[in-house]
């Protein structure tokens, strides 16, 4: 075998070596990225799945245009009722010399999951995914204040997460013996289910506040509002 034949045999091997090295480098890089994912903090993970800022930011409190107090209040109640169950209601008054703030309080409602697209109490994106993977509850407080002939409305949506003694798949039973208090005799215990210790406040759900405010503003400023007022 002469020199030219040896070069023809070695050339394919030399060409394949860089390709193999490139594949190895990409594989190592992929393993490093996957291995580094657990190091990402919960806050960064939460930030990645947070909702995008709304296209039209609605200020909170929001100024409403001039309209009869009965009409404004009926639109506010009708809108809030689509998201939560109202438990307390004090109508706003802005006529005949009477000026009184309106206030709505709702009951807590467990957050909608991804399998409940018809419910409106969780906004799409992170909030709905969090309601699917965690026990989340919300309630709303709406305040309508007369400001001259117009109004100012403020929507506050409080969000809590459930605080449990353990997970559902925990090997430790919730019916175990406790040593941090007096002896408890004759109490029926449910074994296997986690014990609810309470609820931890998570602050305000600004995304849902934006949706409710936009809904109320649209109801009051819609094109057929003038026809409703005249009737």
Same domain, 132 and 76: yes
* 215 inside domain: yes
pLDDT-derived band at 130, boundaries 50, 70, 90: confident
Q: Is the pLDDT of residue 55 over 80?
A: no
Q: What percent of the chain has pLDDT over 90?
A: 31
Average pLDDT over residues 159-174: 67
Full residue range of the structural domain in which residue 64 is found:
55-171+191-230
As to burial, measured by CB atoms within 10 angstroms (0-12 exposed, 13-18 middle, 19+ buried), residue 113 is middle
Same domain, 69 and 167: yes
Tokens describing residue 199? 């609820």
Most confident of 58-62, 155-159, 172-176, 186-190: 155-159
* 226 inside domain: yes
More reliable by pLDDT, 190 or 111: 111
Same domain, 29 and 64: no
pLDDT-derived band at 35, boundaries 50, 70, 90: low
Same domain, 95 and 199: yes
* 49 inside domain: no
Same domain, 112 and 224: yes
Same domain, 99 and 212: yes
CATH number (domain holding residue 125):
3.30.530.50
More reliable by pLDDT, 110 or 14: 110
Supply the pLDDT for residue 82: 92
As to burial, measured by CB atoms within 10 angstroms (0-12 exposed, 13-18 middle, 19+ buried), residue 213 is buried
* 209 inside domain: yes
Same domain, 159 and 203: yes
Q: Provide the whole-model pTM.
A: 0.62
Is 146 within 8 Å of 99 (Cβ atoms)? yes
* 46 inside domain: no
Same domain, 22 and 99: no
Task: Kindly give, in sequence order, each residue whose CB lies less than 8 Å from that of residue 73, ignoring residues fewer than 6 positions away.
Answer: 91, 92, 102, 144
Q: Is the pLDDT of residue 44 over 50?
A: no
Q: What is the pLDDT of residues 100-117, one digit of tens each?
A: 999 999 999 998 888 888
Same domain, 28 and 71: no
Same domain, 122 and 219: yes
Strand-pairing partners, residue 153, are: 62, 144
More reliable by pLDDT, 56 or 126: 126
Cis amide bond preceding 84, omega within 30: no
* 151 inside domain: yes
Task: Kindly give, in sequence order, each residue whose CB lies less than 8 Å from that of residue 223, ignoring residues fewer than 6 positions away.
Answer: none
* 176 inside domain: no
Same domain, 20 and 80: no
Total domains in the chain come to 2
Tell me which DSSP letter residue 191 carries: S
Helix (H, G, I), strand (E, B) or coil at 188: coil
Same domain, 204 and 103: yes
Supply the pLDDT for residue 86: 94
* 45 inside domain: no
């Amino acid at each position: 075998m002469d020199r030219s034949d040896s070069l023809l045999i070695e050339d394919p091997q030399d060409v394949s070596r860089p390709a193999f090295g490139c594949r190895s480098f990409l594989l190592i890089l992929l393993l490093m990225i996957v291995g580094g994912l657990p190091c990402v903090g919960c806050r960064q993970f939460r930030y990645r799945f947070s909702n995008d800022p709304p296209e039209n930011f609605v200020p909170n409190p929001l100024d409403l245009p001039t309209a009869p107090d009965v009409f404004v209040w009926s639109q506010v109640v009708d809108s809030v009722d689509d998201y939560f169950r109202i438990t307390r209601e004090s109508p706003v008054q802005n006529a005949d010399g009477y000026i009184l703030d309106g206030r709505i309080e709702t009951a807590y409602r467990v957050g909608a999951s991804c399998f409940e697209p018809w419910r409106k109490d969780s906004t799409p994106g992170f909030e709905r995914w969090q309601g699917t993977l965690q026990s989340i509850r919300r309630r709303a407080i709406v305040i309508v204040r007369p400001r001259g002939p117009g109004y100012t409305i403020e929507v506050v949506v409080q969000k809590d997460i459930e605080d449990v003694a353990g997970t559902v798949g925990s090997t430790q039973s919730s019916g175990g013996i406790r040593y941090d208090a007096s002896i408890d005799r004759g109490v029926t215990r449910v074994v296997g289910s986690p014990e609810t210790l309470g609820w931890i406040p998570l602050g305000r759900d600004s995304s849902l506040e934006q949706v409710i405010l936009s809904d109320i503003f649209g109801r009051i400023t819609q094109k057929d509002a003038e026809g409703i007022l005249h009737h």
